[in-house]
Structure 1
Amino acid sequence: MKKSLMLACALVLAGLSGTASAGEAFVRGEIGKSDVKLKLDGVGSESDKDTAYALRGGYWFNSNFAVEGHYSRFYDQTLYNDGAGYVDGKLSAIGLGMVAKEHTTDSGLGFFVQLRAGVARGKISLDTSEGSGSETSTKPYYGIGAGYDFSRRFGLSLNYDHNQGSGGGLEITANTLSLGLEARF
């Protein structure tokens, strides 16, 4: 029994190491627009838009599957300023997830669609003339994209991502449409 388990583990590790050596690392920058919605129990809801960006990096195990980590900034605005007092708000997230990509050709180049999903730790920060504070929550995220891989090393895509957070009666969603540039090495 132990020998069978050891053999199975060795085969799995050998398969993973072969897959990993056939893959490639990547970095990706995205810039676009976020639509941020806030809903506070008993108070109501509000929404606003802001320029958003994301920095992503990870590893493609093959042309179809990757793991990624990311930092995203969805919102960074002054919410109130009358000269005597101010309130600045920021919304960001760090996350870890999986990416699945399918090309329209067998070469692994050209047009593609991709899906991504994972878990992100969102953070809302408020800085005021009276002090500052922040709140975090961990929630799933997901996204879809379409683009074009010009070579094995370079691609461009249009992406839509949905992130959410909650805590203390506050629910937040950030829906982002962005243009992404990916380099693989």
Structure 2
Amino acid sequence: MKKSLLALAFISAGACALPALAQDASGTDTTAPAASGNYQSNQAVGSGNWFLSGSVGQSHLYQGPYNDHPTTYAINGGYRWKVGQDMGLGVEVGYNDLGNFKVKNAFNSNDVNLTDQRNALRGWTAGVNGRIDVYRGLYVSGRAGVYGWKGHGYNNQDINRHNLDKVDYYAGAGVGYDFSDHFGLGVSYDVYHAKKDGVSLSTDTASVTAEYRF
């Protein structure tokens, strides 16, 4: 599943859209005017926008001693170029908080009382993103890159809490709608790989994202 999502993110970020505008022999545009929300169709190829986005959602961690789904938060920013009639490619950096996980059924068949310590996953992201405007403001998107994370957690082999950090990867795909040239709202599914020293904090997230373009 995670390998398929990574492939989908790269395909979404690198695919080329078919031209959305057509002209008749006299040079008259025979295509319906672009919706005001389809901001990429209102731009010239080669132009671009700075953007800032915020996300809130829920994570899903079912690894080792964990079975939890806390609330997640993320902020992201970057620049996106128009590289085709209805396609944009960009770069991004961001920070996320993937929640505090509770240990459940670790080391034996019963719950263990370790909730007084935070088993957290936080990190910085840096990567590429892409989006294709499908129809009158409706778009599909993809993103992928490196994930520099810090976390705290346990494995199934011992009862020692580990403080960890590493550079791994992330990937995601989504769909959304542009309400104007500057504002869009979407939903996305992302995977953040975070594994070290026998502790796996790799997390899937489902989020709602609002994006503002300058």
Q: Fold-level match, TM-score > 0.5? A: yes
TM-score after normalising by structure 2: 0.64
Equivalences, count: 151
Q: Deviations over 1:53-104 (max 9, x none)?
A: 110000012251111111111112565768xx92122111111011110011
What is residue 61 of structure 1 aligned with on the other side?
81
Q: Which amino acid aligns with 1:101?
A: R
Give 4+ residue runs of structure 1 displaced > 4 Å after superposition: 77-82
Is residue 102–residue 112 contact of structure 1 (8 Å, CA) maintained in 2? yes
* Counterparts in 2 of 1:141 and 1:77: CA distance versus 1, 3 Å: closer
- Of the three residues 145, 150, 161, the one matched with 1:123 is 150
Amino acid of the residue matched to residue 118 of structure 1?
Answer: G
Identity of aligned residues (%): 29
Checking the alignment, whether the CA contact within 8 Å between 1:58 and 1:68 is kept in structure 2 is yes
Q: Deviations over 1:4-30 (max 9, x none)?
A: xxxxxxxxxxxxxx94xx211110000
1:175 aligned to 204, 208, 211, which one? Answer: 204
Gaps of 5+ in 2: 1-44, 104-111, 154-160
Letter in 1 for 2:56: I
- Higher relative contact order, chain-length normalized (CA < 8 Å, sep 6+): 2
Aligned to 2:172: 143
Rounded to whole Å, the distance in 2 between the matches of 1:29 and 1:94 is 14
2:52 to 27, 30, 52: 27
- How much is the aligned-residue C-alpha RMSD, in angstroms? 2.3
Instruction: Give the Cα separation in 2 of the matches to 1:121 and 1:37.
Output: 21
1:50 maps to what in 2?
A: 70
Please give the alpha-carbon distance, in whole angstroms, between the structure 2 residues aligned to 1:114 and 1:177: 14
Q: What SS does the aligned partner of 1:48 have?
A: coil
Q: Work out the CA distance in 2 between the residues paired with 1:120 and 1:36.
A: 17
1:165 to 180, 186, 194: 194
Q: Which segment is superposed worse, 49-58 or 73-82?
A: 73-82
How far does residue 38 in structure 1 lie from its aligned partner after superposition?
Answer: 3.0
Residue 133 (structure 2) pairs with residue 103 (structure 1): yes
Asked if structure 1 preserves the Cα contact closer than 8 Å seen for 2:68 and 2:101, the reply is no
Q: Scaled by the length of structure 1, what TM-score is found? A: 0.74
Residue 75, structure 1, aligned to residue 99, structure 2: yes
CA distance in 2, matches of 1:151, 1:103: 13
Structure 1 runs not aligned, ≥5 long: 1-17, 40-44, 127-131
Paired with 1:86 and 1:179, the residues of 2 have a C-alpha distance of 30
Of Structure 1 and Structure 2, the greater strand share is in: 1
Check conservation: 1:36, 1:75, Cα contact below 8 A: no
